[in-house]
């Protein structure tokens, strides 16, 4: 096949992200929604970076485990995280809502996918799918 490559890889730099993680941590995963970015780090922190109307950074959580994966619902109200300690957690991006924690495995969780309509609060939508280094893909329902 000749021509232009379908995907171009390059490093992304940002003064905002540099200020988020500091020198002792590094970004390991990112989830993007219109107007906001959620960032997971090697040291287990999760940050919400809102862009509109001005840039605002809020620390959602500090786990003691490396964040491998993030997923947002379509409304940008909830975020699922998968971590090295085998946990899957669904966080509200609005303060005041308790997180939902699933003990997925004793192995690291490498991927998560939050139900797109999670914010609707309908019982059939309160779900997250997770896969890990143990080779299992599990649908967790609240």
| Residue 33, helix vs strand vs coil | strand
Residues comprising the chain, all counted? 142
Cα–Cα nearest to 71, from 102, 38, 28? 38
Task: Say if CB 65 and CB 35 are below 8 A apart.
Answer: no
State both tokens at 56: 């605002």
Residue 58 phi, psi (nearest 5)? -130, 130
pTM given for the model: 0.82
pLDDT in tens, the chain (142 residues): 567 777 666 555 555 555 555 657 888 999 999 888 999 999 999 999 887 666 778 888 777 789 999 999 999 999 999 999 999 999 999 888 899 999 988 999 999 999 999 999 899 999 999 999 889 999 999 9
What is d(CA 117, CA 139) in angstroms, rounded to the nearest whole number? 15
Domains and CATH numbers, the chain: 27-141 (2.130.10.10)
């Amino acid at each position: 096949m000749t021509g232009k490559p379908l995907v171009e890889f390059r490093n992304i730099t940002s003064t905002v992200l540099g200020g988020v993680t500091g020198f002792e941590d590094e970004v390991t995963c990112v989830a993007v929604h219109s107007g906001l970015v959620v960032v997971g780090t090697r040291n287990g922190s999760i940050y919400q970076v809102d862009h509109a109307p001005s840039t605002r950074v809020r620390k959602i959580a500090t786990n003691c485990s490396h964040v491998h994966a993030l997923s947002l619902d379509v409304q940008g109200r909830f975020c699922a995280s998968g971590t090295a300690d085998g946990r899957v957690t669904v966080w509200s991006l609005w303060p005041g809502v308790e997180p939902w924690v699933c003990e997925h495995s004793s192995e690291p969780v490498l991927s998560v996918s939050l139900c797109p309509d999670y914010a609707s609060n309908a019982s059939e939508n309160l779900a997250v799918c997770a896969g890990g280094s143990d080779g299992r893909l599990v649908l967790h329902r609240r």
